[in-house]
Structure 1
Amino acid sequence: MSRWLKAAAAAFLMLLSTTVARAGDAQHYAVAELPTPVLNTPDFPRVFGGQDGRTVKTDHQGQIRELEFIALPGAAFTVQETLRRGGSVVHRVTTDDYPYPTTTGYFVDARFVRLTDETPHPRARKLPSRNKIITRLLAARGSRYVWGGNVRAGVPDMIRLFPPAGKLSAETERRWLLQGLDCSGLLYEATDGVTPRNTSALAGYGRGVPIAGLSTEEIRQQLEPLDLIVWKGHVIIVLDRERTIESRLGPVPGKRDGVAVRPLRDVLSEVMGKRVPVDRFAEKNGRGEKTFVVRRWYP
């Protein structure tokens, strides 16, 4: 056999071993049975384990950038492709729970979902009361910042389904379990997944509160509980005219980051030191200044 034919045969066998064809397969959908991590890579073992079997892949800020969000039980997926990676099976999916553009695709481990050949009902969404949402937000104080996190208790099944090769440090175990919240994930958890899952969508969610040209104090007087001070990249939630709550990433992982309540006046002064208030969000205004908006979304 020629060298070219050998290479072609090897490539074909590799394709067979890594891709499970969906042609003729009636199961085109999946439903989350557990809190389900959705990654932007199919290589779960590289993220949770790595070469030594007990390393979580993080960046210089201690964050797993491969994590997009955690789908809640009942979330419905359309399965576009099924991949076999070593001993695991991964589905490339789309979902109305996270309807945002991607260049890499979104992936779930098959063990978190059940397949079905019938179009599943969308995940049930019922908005909690305003007071219940605020109570949940306050209960999250002290939670660590986790990129893509929207279940502050984390996903206990991560240890069972991706068992580490040895004993983990407390910090590595926390990351492995995805314990914590990012800024939009804080609101997403408190609303049972009713609100959008990223800040780009939140910047246009609900209706705008007119704030263009107003001072810090004038804006403060306009705000109501659960209003959002938001721009693409971060959201701050108003508790009342004295306090806000947010989850933000600190300069040092694990220090001065996570969910905290802060005085509204201080927050507005800080934001307006870097951004200007506008009524409709754009990355920058006509003068090239960064902007923010206030959105009122609670019915």
Structure 2
Amino acid sequence: MYRWWAAAAAFFVLVMIVAAQASETPRYAVAVLPAPVLNTPDFPGVFGGRDGGTVRTDRQGQIRELEFIALPGTAFTVQETLRRGGSVVHRVTTDDYPYPTTTGYFVDDRFVRLTDETPHPRARKLPSRDKIIARLLASRGSRYVWGGNVRAGVPDMVRLFPPAKILSVETERRWLLRGLDCSGLLYEATDGVTPRNTSALASYGRGVPIAGLTAEEISQRLEPLDLIVWKGHVIIVLDRERTIESRLGPVPGKRDGVAVRPLREVLAEVMGKRVPADRFAEKNGRGEKTFVIRRWYE
């Protein structure tokens, strides 16, 4: 009898261990729509607020809770699922945005499908150089949006987070996340092949030696799609005469967004505040801020 009970108890313990391990098996999610990824689970607070018709922005009109917009097919690992009333939000990680976080990254359940099988990574195919440049130029005039990498925005935002009142034109634009930030401009043009963060772009590809050179000397070394970059901003070279960038102006809606500018004007402006370096460091040995040129499209 004792042996029977011992065997039964051992079997029960084994079943419980297997069940516990199964319950801890990571779940996954795959974006089925362009999916805003926030650094807070409070989606209704950001898109609606107390009156149901306000977008939470800072003094510059930016939604600082927005990290990026995951493209359809983006694979997530679900760390935790939060349920608050009728709202379901997942705390996630993804190789498409592998950057440190203190608050976590969150995606609304309605933008993804859940699966227990490890999903394939999002398909990545780099467009041709000419197509990338055409896409960049097509973005001229787009507004600057912190975390934005889909210039047309996310139309499903007003369906999934319906405003409680008629929105102004400007509030609707922000609600829909229409616009691009500096690395988002490049990310959209390359179908999400390039890194989504200027810290990563500052070491992406290979460096073009520019330390100690003048603006004119640097301009002669540049090729289309080279990056003028430092931690915090990236400017994309179109040719030896022009650049394109998305930058946040001092006044929301004025002097900001995607614009084409003369290369030499841009280099003069940058070199008025930073010095050219062959490898990026926020400051060199003399305490000067630096920038680098990265060549990633060969």
Q: Per-residue deviation at 1:240? A: 0.1
Cα distance in 2 between the residues matched to 1:297 and 1:286: 27
Q: Which has the larger radius of gyration?
A: 2
Matched, 1:281 2:298: no
Q: Secondary structure at the match of 1:131?
A: helix
Cα distance in 1 between the residues matched to 2:181 and 2:253: 13
Alpha-carbon deviations, 1:170-225, whole Å to 9, x = none?
00000000000000000000000000001000000000000000000000000000
Cα distance in 2 between the residues matched to 1:265 and 1:86: 55
Matched, 1:269 2:232: no
Q: Secondary structure at the match of 1:222?
A: coil
Q: Secondary structure at the match of 2:79?
A: strand
Letter in 1 for 2:130: N
Displaced runs of 4+ in structure 1, greater than 4 A?
Answer: none
Q: Per-residue deviation at 1:86? A: 2.6
Cα distance in 2 between the residues matched to 1:27 and 1:285: 43
Letter in 2 for 1:237: I
Q: Please give the TM-score of this superposition, normalised by the length of structure 1.
A: 0.92
Q: Secondary structure at the match of 1:230?
A: strand
Q: Per-residue deviation at 1:24? A: 2.3
Q: Secondary structure at the match of 2:177?
A: coil
Q: Which runs of 5+ in 1 are unaligned?
A: 1-21
Cα distance in 1 between the residues matched to 2:256 and 2:272: 20
Mapping for residues 164-175 of structure 1, pairs under 5 Å: 164-175=163-174
Cα distance in 2 between the residues matched to 1:244 and 1:265: 9
Cα distance in 2 between the residues matched to 1:101 and 1:25: 23
Q: Secondary structure at the match of 2:81?
A: strand
Equivalence for 2:9: none
Q: 1:25 to 1:158 in 2, by over 3 A?
A: farther
Letter in 1 for 2:88: V
Q: Please give the TM-score of this superposition, normalised by the length of structure 2.
A: 0.92
Of all paired residues, the percent bearing the same amino acid is 88
Alpha-carbon deviations, 1:22-58, whole Å to 9, x = none?
9727670000000000000000000000000000000
1:35–1:72 CA contact under 8 A, matched in 2: yes
1:43–1:85 CA contact under 8 A, matched in 2: no
Equivalence for 1:18: none
Equivalence for 1:50: 49
Mapping for residues 1-299 of structure 1, pairs under 5 Å: 24=23, 28-299=27-298
Cα distance in 2 between the residues matched to 1:60 and 1:261: 26
Cα distance in 1 between the residues matched to 2:111 and 2:187: 20
Q: Which runs of 5+ in 2 are unaligned?
A: 1-20
Letter in 2 for 1:139: A
Letter in 2 for 1:96: D
